[in-house]
Amino acid sequence: MKCNNPKYFIPTLATLVAFPVLVVLLSWLTPDVETWQHFSEYLLGDLIKSTLILVIGVALGVMILGTILAYLVVMVDFPGRKWMEWALFLPFGIPAYVLAFVYLGVFDYSGYVQTFLRDYLGFPGFDIRSGSWATILTFILVFYPYVYMMTRASFMRQKISMIEAGKLLGAGPIKVFFKISLPIARPAVAAGVLVTIMETLADYGVVGLFNYNTFTTAIYSAWIDFRSVEVAAQLASILVISAFFLIYFEKKARGKAKYYSSDIYQERPYKASGLLGGLISFFVLGVFLLAFAMPMLQLVIWGHEMILEEWNTSYLDLIQSTITLTTLAIIIVIFISTLLALPNDCKNSLVSRNLLRVSTLGYALPGSVMAVGLLYGVNEISSFAQIFGLPSINYLIFGSITLLVFAYVSRFLAVGFNSIDASVQQIKPVLIDNARLLGAKRGKIIWKVYLPMMLPGILAASLLVGVDVMKELPATYLLRPFGWDTLAIKVYELSSEGLYERAAVPALIMVAIGAFMMLIFRSIDKKITL
């Protein structure tokens, strides 16, 4: 599609969104040599090893689990599939740090499980915080919906005639999966895995609760313990650079391959009943119980007696602030992601492509460092402007929600862009060529062809961004204006004091809001699949 926009529109938009990331990268201009020497001598080697173990374990886990679940609910008709298809979205509504403290409360040495094993079975017990397995499992159960949601949308758009052709040629379900369905869904799988890796790299709550040291804990240590914002930003820049190369190599590995799809279908090509159907149902139900039902039950046990005692009008303010910030972030992120994902010759230059990649790297930044980058960058711009006698912009930004929403947009653009871009990659060029032959202009092609076929990706992106913004903690904690506390802030303040029963109340409200968002997504998604 021709570049009808001004020449520098895409680079300017990408640069604006990437501003906090660029500030972090430029932090190397002011190195803290003494602190860096300490980190490199005593911490860096172990940090790299533990972070790689965590990222590889989580990436493989969510890729396998999310893809298999998406394939089963779309391609296989098994007992309970209809409700399980949507139940599998629900774990995404539980913040990772909430799931972590629930698992610690249940499986720690003094928890229900180990107490039962010691008292009744004589089992000596185990340390859930030892090693990396519990941390990796927690991340997998929280983040598999990224891959599940995006891959499910891709599987739903695959042409059923290709599946039927494979079956006629004698290919079984497993061969059809690996030879037809999975290759076509690769962009969606890769997008979900990339977002998961960035989210894992940026997390502090889970690794902090499990005492598992990663680059993120080192960033907080550099900032809080060593009082060095420069080293914190420089450590964060390593995460950004790592994410950049992950995206680059995935695109390189894909090469010039195209992954087009067709209309959405409803018929399931495979039917599983009897023992096989029961095993599939047991597997899917087991994932749902571990990732959502059991944690929710524990939250209800902790919170059912506290909700009447805790509930007051302040919770209405928390809910209002959370919904307002979430809605603003969704609208802006989806608008920018759609503009950046639409095919356009403006994006074909090397500068534009690289800026586009950088603009989607904010997800690899911890929210706290994103906040510091914004505060530092805006303050430097204001100081620079005052040198030339220009008015300061601080009074327009600080004390308002502007900077906070900017942080959300910059950090979560990767979620929206990857999901929407995966939908764009599956649109056949012949549809666009036919529209042009019929005399349709760019605006009409976008409205009549691109947007309808991008709608599943846009809906998935809206849900992903909304839930992520609602759960975001560090950036909200640092950048929120006075009086703009959110449910995430309330959960953090109570759980950090060990008041799990009281923290369960705002956590349950967050889950309820997330579930409501998923119901809205489901109702719209059902209409567009009819």
Query: Are the C-beta atoms of residues 330 and 384 closer than 8 Å to each other?
Result: no
Rounded Cα distance, 56 and 132, in Å: 11
> How much is the pLDDT for 141?
93
Query: Are the C-beta atoms of residues 58 and 412 closer than 8 Å to each other?
Result: no
Rounded Cα distance, 49 and 300, in Å: 38
Q: What is the pLDDT of residues 353-403, one digit of tens each?
A: 666 666 666 666 667 677 777 777 776 676 666 666 655 555 556 567 888
Band the pLDDT of 21: cuts 50, 70, 90. Answer: confident
Rounded Cα distance, 54 and 104, in Å: 18
> How much is the pLDDT for 286?
93
Q: Which residue has the tokens 């010759």?
A: 345
> How much is the pLDDT for 352?
61
CB neighbours of 34 closer than 8 A, spacing ≥ 6? Answer: none
Best CA proximity match to 36, nearest among 52, 51, 47? 47
Query: Are the C-beta atoms of residues 237 and 74 closer than 8 Å to each other?
Result: no
- Mean pLDDT over each residue of the chain, to the nearest integer: 76
Q: Reduce the DSSP state of residue 77 to 3 states and report it.
A: strand
Rounded Cα distance, 443 and 425, in Å: 19
Q: What is the pLDDT of residues 192-246, one digit of tens each?
A: 888 788 788 777 778 877 888 887 777 777 766 776 767 777 777 777 777 767 7
pLDDT of residue 315 exceeding 70, the answer is: yes
Query: Are the C-beta atoms of residues 494 and 503 closer than 8 Å to each other?
Result: yes
CA distance to 233, 311, 315, 504, per residue, from 298 (Å)? 37, 19, 21, 9
Q: Reduce the DSSP state of residue 495 to 3 states and report it.
A: helix
Between CA 281 and CA 288, with CA 286 as vertex, the angle to 5 degrees is: 100
Rounded Cα distance, 76 and 273, in Å: 10
Query: Are the C-beta atoms of residues 156 and 50 closer than 8 Å to each other?
Result: no
Best CA proximity match to 18, nearest among 452, 258, 401, 354? 354
> How much is the pLDDT for 518?
74
- Taking the domain 32-528, which CATH number applies? 1.10.3720.10
CA distance to 142, 232, 466, per residue, from 246 (Å)? 21, 22, 25
pLDDT of residue 254 exceeding 70, the answer is: no
> How much is the pLDDT for 7?
55
Best CA proximity match to 272, nearest among 87, 86, 81? 81
pLDDT of residue 248 exceeding 60, the answer is: yes
Burial class (CB in 10 A: 0-12, 13-18, 19+), 313: exposed
Give the range among 40-44, 159-163, 476-480 with minimum mean pLDDT: 159-163
> How much is the pLDDT for 330?
92
> How much is the pLDDT for 267?
55
> How much is the pLDDT for 140?
94
Burial class (CB in 10 A: 0-12, 13-18, 19+), 170: exposed
Q: What percent of the chain has pLDDT over 90?
A: 8
Query: Are the C-beta atoms of residues 408 and 367 closer than 8 Å to each other?
Result: no
Mean pLDDT for 292-301 is 88
25 CA to centre of own chain:
22
pLDDT of residue 529 exceeding 60, the answer is: no
Query: Are the C-beta atoms of residues 470 and 490 closer than 8 Å to each other?
Result: no
pLDDT of residue 57 exceeding 90, the answer is: yes
DSSP string, 375-389: HHHHHHHHHHHHHTT
Q: What percent of the chain has pLDDT over 70?
A: 73
> How much is the pLDDT for 257?
52
> How much is the pLDDT for 250?
64
Q: What is the pLDDT of residues 128-186, one digit of tens each?
A: 777 788 899 999 999 998 899 888 877 877 666 666 666 666 666 677 777 777 777 78
> How much is the pLDDT for 171?
65
- Tell me the domain boundaries of the chain: 32-528
> How much is the pLDDT for 108?
76
Query: Are the C-beta atoms of residues 98 and 295 closer than 8 Å to each other?
Result: yes
CA distance to 397, 476, 479, per residue, from 404 (Å)? 9, 7, 5
Within a 10 A sphere around the Cβ of 511, how many other Cβ atoms? 22
pLDDT of residue 530 exceeding 60, the answer is: no
Rounded Cα distance, 105 and 277, in Å: 34
> How much is the pLDDT for 126?
73
Q: Reduce the DSSP state of residue 233 to 3 states and report it.
A: helix
Best CA proximity match to 247, nearest among 464, 467, 417, 424? 417
Regarding predicted confidence, which is higher, 67 or 271?
Answer: 67
Gyration radius of the chain over CA positions? 24
CA quadruple 72, 73, 76, 79: dihedral, nearest 10 = 110
* The pair of three-digit structure tokens given for residue 118, joined into one six-digit string: 């010691």
Q: Reduce the DSSP state of residue 76 to 3 states and report it.
A: strand
> How much is the pLDDT for 178?
72
Regarding predicted confidence, which is higher, 434 or 105?
Answer: 105
Rounded Cα distance, 141 and 61, in Å: 9
> How much is the pLDDT for 59?
92
DSSP string, 414-457: HHHHHHHHHHHTTS-HHHHHHHHHTT--HHHHIIIIIHHHHHHH
Regarding predicted confidence, which is higher, 171 or 76?
Answer: 76
